[in-house]
Structure 1
Amino acid sequence: MSDDSRYFLGGEGAHRGFFGASVSRERAVGMGVVILATMFLTPMFGMWVIAAGLALAVVIFFATMNTHRGSILERRQRRSRWKARQTAGTDRFIPYNEGRWALLTDALERTRKTKDKNEKQARGDWNRELVAMRAVPDGADGMGWLQSSRGVPGIAWHGPVGEQPYLSVAFALGGQLRGLESPATIRAAAQAFSRFLANYAPEGSLLRTVQPLTRVLPADSALQEWWLMNNLDETAPADAMRSYEEVLIKTGQGAMVQRHYIVGRWPISAQFVATARKYGEGRDGWRALMAIEIEAVVRALNEARMGTVEPLTARGVTAVIRHMQNPSRPVDYMAALTPMDLGEASHDEFSAHVVDGTDPETGEPVQWWHRTAAIRAESMAIAERSPLWLVDALIGRELDIVRTLSFHIELVPAAEAKQAAKGDVVKDMADQLSETANGKLGNDETSTRVLAAQRRRADLSAGSHHHGANWVGFVTVTATSRDELARASRRLAEVCETNLGIERLDWLDSYQSAASGTTWPIARGLQPRKTTFSAAAMNMLAGRGDKEAIA
């Protein structure tokens, strides 16, 4: 990030490859397979292979063509995934209950050889319930705790299928800005956060991903009511008390407040394990190392002007996750919670994650509908943006809905980012020259892409102390019914397209329960970048550090 107040963002979902950044992986792989198969099979079977290859190439081209509703291939994949989930029974979630599990397994074993029709039907229901009963919800699959004691920062331990294990810690923030601030203050705040990211980007850093997260929810007058109960004059007139109550009601109507968090992600790599060994054996060394890392992050966030910074305990993280599933629970409500009480009973529809919970104050059943979308760079208009480009999504009047906005930022060391930026500049300039050859008018998007690539390369120049980033954003909207969720989805899409320059929200339909986890404070949802060959070789040569070193 440069020190200028405006930045190019959008239009680029990947660095340039042989086919450019605009070609999807599915199309590149499909076309490559068709070309190779045609080359090898034509000598054996003649011209028919060429005709078949051309036909397949046309089919692949249209099947992978991106539209405002995604490609044909993506839509078929979503439908297939949804049918498979329904068949397997994984579209439901029931929190694990040891007594109920034992009862069902005993009943299945007892009726294993039964021929009674009713009992066979009951066995099917029991099997489906067992499939739905899991320890953690889909959004937190593979999550446990390295440190979950009361009064200490909660350190979550994640082992998602197909991903490198990692640790995460969530920090509650006061926020950088308060009301109206001057442009100079806004620029200083953006530069302070940029320095925070840059300080953790070098290869030797153990913290590799940062997740800023903002929860937007209706105003809660509980603190004002608590203050009134403790400061009310017993001789105050009844009319005055009623007047104050009316003030609280009127000021809370239609008002939305923000709760800010930042989550750090530490991959459990060979470097992490080797470093932790210097602080103690086994998991004790991990916890000692993480204590130092957490203290350093708190100090860095304070220097980045993030206001009050407080690491959340394991129960605090659990309370936030439960609130995000069931907003009837206050975000700080931890009564009777244990760190593994992460999920509420729920089921999925194709476009919604539906949570069936209870209101802890009244005990009445409530139902909340959630829908999550991804914000990807390739779905955004290429344009210069200020540090406040997301304000309309956070505090805009057009959005009176409960929502969570989360960005995942993987920090890329400067050397690796500089190498990729240099290749992008060369490829984009070549595309521009090709388009403008023989006096033709070039594509304005290509010209803007060239400017963005040149700006990025300049930002990464020697001595700039800037680094690269791999990022993705997610937004979850929440409502009390299907119709309200549909309205909220349309309203969000309109605001994103009109005010934010986000041309398309990628709704993560067919797996919305898992998608909800991308906006929970657990650093889920980002596909890590592929390390280049030169960077991997350099890391191998660097080793894991000297055993004799004290740190």
Structure 2
Amino acid sequence: MQTRNIGGEAGRRGFFGGTSNKTRSIALVIVAVLGAFLTVYTQGPGLLATLAAAGLVWVLTLRTHRGSLFLRLTNARRWRERQRLGIVSFYPIAHRALTWDHNQDGRKLSRRERRELERAERRYRETPDGVDGFHWLQREDGLPGIAWHVPAGEDAWLSVCFSVDGQVQGIASDAFLDNAMQAFGGVLNRFGNVATLPNRLQSLTRVLPVDSARHEAWVWEQLDPTIAEDDAAMMDLVASYDEVVQLVRSFGLMQRHYVVIRWPITPAFVKAASRRGPAQQGWRALMNAEIATVSAQLRRVRPGNTPQEVSTLSARHLAAVLRHMQNPSWPLDDLDDLDVDAPWEPSEDVLSANIVTASGPDGTEQQWWHRTAELPIDAFETGPRTSLWVAPLLSQLGTPIVRTLSLQVEVVPAAIARSAALADLTADLADLAAQRRKGSIDDSELAARSTAARARLADLAVGTGYHGVGWAGHITVSGRNREDLTDAVDTVSAAAGDAGISRLQWLDGQQAAAQAATWPLTRGMAPLSRSGAARLQDLLAGTGSKEAIS
């Protein structure tokens, strides 16, 4: 089976060698500038203070298996601020029933009472944390659901969710897996073309209790319609099958796979849409054409004569998926009793979990605890991996844990990725040569990084047709209570080690927002930063001649 090198891409190489730490670099520059002035005016004491400050910065930004001390202090401060503002709880805005100026007996509220009321009022929001600015561009039943995202401080984008049955079904040969990996890489390569409108793909696998909705639908499809519904034998058969399904649902898990594509609303997108119609009419026409193209590409991901089954989720179906991921007691395909515009469940954050308490399908109150972690790129052990490298977190886990694994990929044009790989390899080879001149033993981590950089450079060679990628991974685990969630976290953390991930970065203090990174909405990954040369090239390219056909 073919392998690819993963790891060694946590950050660009620093000026003094090794991978750079952006926070540390900025802080040291500030300390150096201020320290220079302080040393000029106070001489010895200023120099000592500068050295002490530099040492403190180094200690605060030192990476550990639990993150840096600076990161932990920042998260603690953020958590205290959220508690002070009262935004650790979320209730859909439809639940709001508060009076601002007077209490129940008509007495004017004091300043303290108003402050407490304001704090309580902040619990009621249109969307939970991590999903601000979420709307629909297309929400009609029977049509592809097109989500419109306009979060504060970010560029807007559209996203569409596709349900797929996976590249591999059952036992497959190594050659089949290799061809599937190359076919999937071909889909990603199309996103590197400057003329392609979508720029990000989210691959999402949901491990969930067996969904009874499909089984129930299958039973009613198979029953003879000529038999009366009050026939005793038929009802006994249905009840017997339902008993089996509910038993399997209680103890078994299954996997569902989704691919979510993101279209940024760029000037190129707006221009292409304007040719198809005015305003949002043109947007919808363009998106429907784009959806058909992506669907055809995804069907070709599975090699052989049997294409992959791909279906585009409607807005109602996507809303059902979102409701299920908050409250797994609801079946994934249950589209009844659902508010398409607000499929959100009440929740409350504690430091290390997001707790959802809401009604289930039978009307009884259900509670689920969720905890989300980032898959830190710097925690990936550098080395070759096959296309099954995430299997320890999915099919090989062996423990019935409800979980979601999300991997987002954004394509980097080949020229930019090639330049970065070349710079990394040059820096690594220089560091290795310096160590050998000193007569020291080669750093195994540095050697592995240089091997990975060399492999990336070979993959990105001119003529191969491959592009680079930036990516982010998140995983959410769920349990019925604190004890179930604690056991699930321990099990998943151990499985991450089997997948070559030395640690998981649990996003404590912001669990509600973090969970949205594993929902089919292409959220949770910052846009890739572009180099100054790339931005200058875009500026010089302009927007094209108005007279040109485009």
2:385 is the alignment partner of 1:385: yes
Q: Which residue of 2 aligns with 1:154?
A: 145
Q: Residues 385-534 of structure 1 correspond to what in structure 2 (within 5 A)?
A: 385-497=385-497, 499-534=498-533
Residue among 183, 205, 210 paired with 2:196: 205
Deviation at 1:57, TM superposition (A): 0.7
Q: Secondary structure at the match of 2:201?
A: strand
Residue among 22, 27, 30 paired with 1:30: 27
Structure 1 CA distance for aligned equivalents of residues 275 and 91 of structure 2 = 42
Deviation at 1:48, TM superposition (A): 1.4
Q: Secondary structure at the match of 2:403?
A: strand
Q: Which residue of 2 aligns with 1:371?
A: 371
Q: Which residue of 2 aligns with 1:168?
A: 159
Q: Give the conservation status (yes or no) of the 8 Å contact 1:399–1:492.
A: no
Q: Secondary structure at the match of 1:258?
A: strand
Structure 1 CA distance for aligned equivalents of residues 347 and 530 of structure 2 = 38
CA 1:311 to 1:39, structure 2 compared with 1: closer, same or farther past 3 Å?
Answer: same
Q: Give the conservation status (yes or no) of the 8 Å contact 2:18–2:428.
A: no
Deviation at 1:288, TM superposition (A): 1.8
Structure 2 CA distance for aligned equivalents of residues 229 and 46 of structure 1 = 87
2:302 is the alignment partner of 1:315: no
CA 1:440 to 1:204, structure 2 compared with 1: closer, same or farther past 3 Å?
Answer: same
Structure 2 CA distance for aligned equivalents of residues 326 and 243 of structure 1 = 27
Structure 2 CA distance for aligned equivalents of residues 502 and 320 of structure 1 = 28
CA 1:162 to 1:359, structure 2 compared with 1: closer, same or farther past 3 Å?
Answer: same
The 10-residue stretch of structure 1 (479-488 or 337-346) with the greater mean CA deviation from structure 2 = 337-346
CA 1:249 to 1:314, structure 2 compared with 1: closer, same or farther past 3 Å?
Answer: closer
CA 1:7 to 1:121, structure 2 compared with 1: closer, same or farther past 3 Å?
Answer: same
TM-score of the pair, normalised by structure 2: 0.92
Structure 2 CA distance for aligned equivalents of residues 276 and 17 of structure 1 = 42
The 10-residue stretch of structure 1 (201-210 or 172-181) with the greater mean CA deviation from structure 2 = 201-210
Structure 1 CA distance for aligned equivalents of residues 60 and 236 of structure 2 = 69
Deviation at 1:224, TM superposition (A): 3.3
Deviation at 1:541, TM superposition (A): 2.3
The 10-residue stretch of structure 1 (338-347 or 411-420) with the greater mean CA deviation from structure 2 = 338-347
Q: Secondary structure at the match of 2:374?
A: strand
Q: Give the conservation status (yes or no) of the 8 Å contact 2:493–2:503.
A: yes
Structure 2 CA distance for aligned equivalents of residues 319 and 426 of structure 1 = 50
Q: Give the conservation status (yes or no) of the 8 Å contact 2:7–2:449.
A: no
Deviation at 1:211, TM superposition (A): 0.4
Q: Give the conservation status (yes or no) of the 8 Å contact 1:9–1:377.
A: no
Q: Give the conservation status (yes or no) of the 8 Å contact 2:219–2:238.
A: no
Deviation at 1:293, TM superposition (A): 1.3
Q: Give the conservation status (yes or no) of the 8 Å contact 2:326–2:356.
A: yes
Structure 2 CA distance for aligned equivalents of residues 155 and 527 of structure 1 = 21
Residue among 257, 260, 265 paired with 1:263: 260
Q: Secondary structure at the match of 2:358?
A: strand
1:324-376 C-alpha deviation (Å, 9 max, x unpaired): 0000111112213233213111110000011111112x100011110000002
Deviation at 1:156, TM superposition (A): 1.1
Q: Residues 100-119 of structure 1 correspond to what in structure 2 (within 5 A)?
A: 101=96, 103-104=97-98, 107-110=99-102
Q: Give the conservation status (yes or no) of the 8 Å contact 1:408–1:526.
A: yes
1:219-271 C-alpha deviation (Å, 9 max, x unpaired): 23443344344545869699988876675566556432111111111111222
CA 1:347 to 1:436, structure 2 compared with 1: closer, same or farther past 3 Å?
Answer: same
1:115-153 C-alpha deviation (Å, 9 max, x unpaired): 778x87765554233211111111211111222222111
1:88-122 C-alpha deviation (Å, 9 max, x unpaired): 0110101012xx64x52xx32345998778x8776
Q: Give the conservation status (yes or no) of the 8 Å contact 2:139–2:315.
A: yes
Deviation at 1:180, TM superposition (A): 0.6
CA 1:336 to 1:73, structure 2 compared with 1: closer, same or farther past 3 Å?
Answer: same
When the two structures are aligned, how many residues end up with a matched partner?
A: 540
Root mean square deviation, CA, Å = 2.4
CA 1:241 to 1:167, structure 2 compared with 1: closer, same or farther past 3 Å?
Answer: closer
The 10-residue stretch of structure 1 (44-53 or 242-251) with the greater mean CA deviation from structure 2 = 242-251
The 10-residue stretch of structure 1 (123-132 or 302-311) with the greater mean CA deviation from structure 2 = 123-132
Q: Give the conservation status (yes or no) of the 8 Å contact 2:213–2:331.
A: no
CA 1:506 to 1:112, structure 2 compared with 1: closer, same or farther past 3 Å?
Answer: same
- Amino acid in the other structure paired with 2:323: R
Q: Give the conservation status (yes or no) of the 8 Å contact 1:154–1:314.
A: yes
Residue among 51, 54, 63 paired with 2:51: 54
Unaligned runs of 5+ in 2: 225-230
Deviation at 1:304, TM superposition (A): 1.6
Structure 2 CA distance for aligned equivalents of residues 245 and 316 of structure 1 = 23
The 10-residue stretch of structure 1 (233-242 or 142-151) with the greater mean CA deviation from structure 2 = 233-242
Residue among 4, 7, 11 paired with 1:10: 7
Q: Give the conservation status (yes or no) of the 8 Å contact 1:208–1:411.
A: yes
Q: Secondary structure at the match of 1:83?
A: helix
2:194 is the alignment partner of 1:194: no
Structure 1 CA distance for aligned equivalents of residues 466 and 9 of structure 2 = 19
Q: Secondary structure at the match of 1:65?
A: coil
1:459-513 C-alpha deviation (Å, 9 max, x unpaired): 111100000000010000011101111111111001111x101101000110100
The percentage of aligned residue pairs carrying the same residue is 39
Deviation at 1:160, TM superposition (A): 1.7
CA 1:65 to 1:179, structure 2 compared with 1: closer, same or farther past 3 Å?
Answer: same
Q: Residues 532-543 of structure 1 correspond to what in structure 2 (within 5 A)?
A: 532-543=531-542
2:300 is the alignment partner of 1:299: no
2:67 is the alignment partner of 1:95: no
The 10-residue stretch of structure 1 (435-444 or 122-131) with the greater mean CA deviation from structure 2 = 122-131
The 10-residue stretch of structure 1 (125-134 or 55-64) with the greater mean CA deviation from structure 2 = 125-134
Deviation at 1:41, TM superposition (A): 3.1
Residue among 65, 74, 79 paired with 1:77: 74
Q: Which residue of 2 aligns with 1:327?
A: 328
Structure 2 CA distance for aligned equivalents of residues 92 and 249 of structure 1 = 33
Structure 2 CA distance for aligned equivalents of residues 261 and 357 of structure 1 = 25
Q: Secondary structure at the match of 2:368?
A: strand
Q: Give the conservation status (yes or no) of the 8 Å contact 1:476–1:516.
A: yes
Q: Which residue of 2 aligns with 1:218?
A: 209
Structure 2 CA distance for aligned equivalents of residues 62 and 248 of structure 1 = 55
CA 1:278 to 1:549, structure 2 compared with 1: closer, same or farther past 3 Å?
Answer: farther
CA 1:74 to 1:304, structure 2 compared with 1: closer, same or farther past 3 Å?
Answer: same
Structure 1 CA distance for aligned equivalents of residues 281 and 217 of structure 2 = 41
CA 1:76 to 1:438, structure 2 compared with 1: closer, same or farther past 3 Å?
Answer: closer
2:269 is the alignment partner of 1:272: yes
Q: Secondary structure at the match of 1:504?
A: coil
Q: Which residue of 2 aligns with 1:359?
A: 360
Structure 1 CA distance for aligned equivalents of residues 39 and 342 of structure 2 = 60
Q: Give the conservation status (yes or no) of the 8 Å contact 1:14–1:21.
A: no
Unaligned runs of 5+ in 1: none
Structure 2 CA distance for aligned equivalents of residues 238 and 86 of structure 1 = 53
CA 1:26 to 1:114, structure 2 compared with 1: closer, same or farther past 3 Å?
Answer: farther
- Amino acid in the other structure paired with 1:27: R
Q: Which residue of 1 aligns with 2:347?
A: 346
Deviation at 1:543, TM superposition (A): 2.2
CA 1:301 to 1:21, structure 2 compared with 1: closer, same or farther past 3 Å?
Answer: farther
CA 1:194 to 1:288, structure 2 compared with 1: closer, same or farther past 3 Å?
Answer: same
- Amino acid in the other structure paired with 1:34: V
CA 1:239 to 1:335, structure 2 compared with 1: closer, same or farther past 3 Å?
Answer: closer
CA 1:243 to 1:263, structure 2 compared with 1: closer, same or farther past 3 Å?
Answer: closer
- Amino acid in the other structure paired with 1:256: L
